[in-house]
Amino acid sequence: MDPFPKDGESAAAGEPSRGAAPSSGVVVQVREKKGPLRAAIPYMPFPVAVICLFLNTFVPGLGTFVSAFTVLCGARTDLPDRHMCCVFWLNIAAALIQILTAIVMVGWIMSIFWGMDMVILASKYS
């Protein structure tokens, strides 16, 4: 067999397939592991999440700051074992990070993605 395949030829065309077993029907579940800041994003009603996304798009961190107060109003998060006050301060910290790093565009991009996560969580919530 020629070591270099010609145009239109595969290198493994003449070889039997190795390791190609038929599907055994294994189900694989993928779970996303979130850090504490990301898990502190509250599940808000959809209109509030869209407003926070809008605010985060034009003033980095403002929507995240507003969303922190929804935690005090009873919005749930993915951190059920943490006290409401702790989750509030985690959201305030995320807002400050977004505001302080917006100068180098990192915070602005983070702020927009944070707002999109809020909308995604809100769509799952309703």
**Cβ(120)–Cβ(78) below 8 Å:** no
Does the predicted model carry a pTM greater than 0.85? Answer: no
What digits encode the pLDDT tens for the residues 4-35? Answer: 555 555 444 555 555 555 667 788 888 777 78
**Cβ(56)–Cβ(5) below 8 Å:** no
List Cβ neighbours of 89 (8 Å cut-off, separation of 6 or more). Answer: none
Select from 61, 1, 67, 10 the least CA-distant residue to 40.
Answer: 67
Domain ranges of the chain: 44-123
pLDDT computed for residue 7 by the predictor: 54
